[in-house]
Chain A
Amino acid sequence: MTTEFENTQLAAVMTRVAAALKANQQMITELDQAVGDGDLGITAVKLAETLETAAGKTGVADVGKWLAETGMAINRAAPSTMGTLTAIALMQAGKVVIDKGKLAVADLPLLLNAATTGVETRGKARLGDKTLLDVLRPASDTLSAELAAGQPLAVAGAAMLAAARDGRDRVTPLRNKVGRASWLGERTEGKVDPGCAFAVIVLTAIVGA
Chain B
Amino acid sequence: MKKLINRPEDFVSEMLDGLVKAHPDQLAFAGEPIAIVRADAPVQGKVGLATGGGSGHLPVFLGYVGRGLLDGCAVGDVFASPSAETMLNVTRRINGGKGVVYIYGNYGGDVMNFDMAADMASMENIEVRTVLVRDDVASAPPAEAARRRGVAGMVFAFKAAGAKADAGGSLEEVAAAAEHALANLRTMGVALSPCTVPRVGKPTFSIGEGEMEIGMGIHGEPGAKREPLATADEVANRMAEAVLSDLGAAAGDRVAVMVNGLGATPAEELYILYRRVHGLLADRKISVHRAYVGEFATSMEMAGASVTIMRLDDELARLLDAPARSPFFCQS
Residues of A contacting B82 with CB < 8 Å? Answer: 79
Residues of B contacting A72 with CB < 8 Å? Answer: 85
Instruction: Determine whether B200 belongs to the interface, using a CB cutoff of 8 Å to chain A.
Output: yes
Looking across the interface, which residue of chain A has its beta carbon closest to that of B220?
Answer: A37
Instruction: Determine whether A75 belongs to the interface, using a CB cutoff of 8 Å to chain B.
Output: yes
> Which chain A residues in 38-54 approach chain B with CB under 8 Å?
38-39, 41-43
**A122, B113: Cα distance in complex, Å:** 10
CB pair A178–B147 under 8 Å, yes or no, is yes
- Which B positions have Cβ atoms within 8 angstroms of A? 54, 76-86, 107-109, 112-113, 115-116, 136, 138-140, 147, 149, 197, 199-200, 202, 204-205, 217, 219-225
Partner of A182 from B76, B86, B147, B219 at Cβ < 8 Å = B147
Residues of B contacting A123 with CB < 8 Å? Answer: 108, 112
CB pair A180–B107 under 8 Å, yes or no, is yes
- Which A positions have Cβ atoms within 8 angstroms of B? 29, 33, 35-39, 41-43, 72, 75-76, 78-85, 88, 122-123, 178-180, 182-185, 187
CB pair A183–B113 under 8 Å, yes or no, is no
Residues of B contacting A187 with CB < 8 Å? Answer: 222, 224-225
Q: How far is the CB of B201 from chain A (nearest CB, A)?
A: 10
CB pair B80–A80 under 8 Å, yes or no, is yes
CB pair B200–A42 under 8 Å, yes or no, is yes
CB pair B113–A79 under 8 Å, yes or no, is yes
Q: How far is the CB of B147 from chain A (nearest CB, A)?
A: 6
User: Given A76-B83, A79-B81, are A33 and B147 neighbors across the interface (CB < 8 Å)?
Assistant: no
Looking across the interface, which residue of chain A has its beta carbon closest to that of B196?
Answer: A38
Q: How far is the CB of A16 from chain B (nearest CB, A)?
A: 24
What 6 A-B pairs are tightest by C-beta distance, nearest first? Answer: A81-B109, A79-B83, A37-B219, A80-B80, A81-B108, A183-B139
**A75, B76: Cα distance in complex, Å:** 12
CB pair B112–A33 under 8 Å, yes or no, is no
CB pair B224–A39 under 8 Å, yes or no, is no
Partner of B221 from A37, A42, A76, A80 at Cβ < 8 Å = A37
* Centre residue among B85, B86, B136, B204 by max chain A CB count within 10 A: B204
Looking across the interface, which residue of chain A has its beta carbon closest to that of B206?
Answer: A33
24 CB-based A-B contacts, threshold 8 Å:
A33-B202, A37-B79, A37-B197, A37-B204, A38-B197, A39-B77, A39-B78, A39-B80, A42-B197, A75-B84, A80-B81, A84-B84, A122-B112, A178-B108, A180-B107, A180-B149, A182-B140, A183-B140, A183-B149, A184-B223, A185-B224, A187-B222, A187-B224, A187-B225
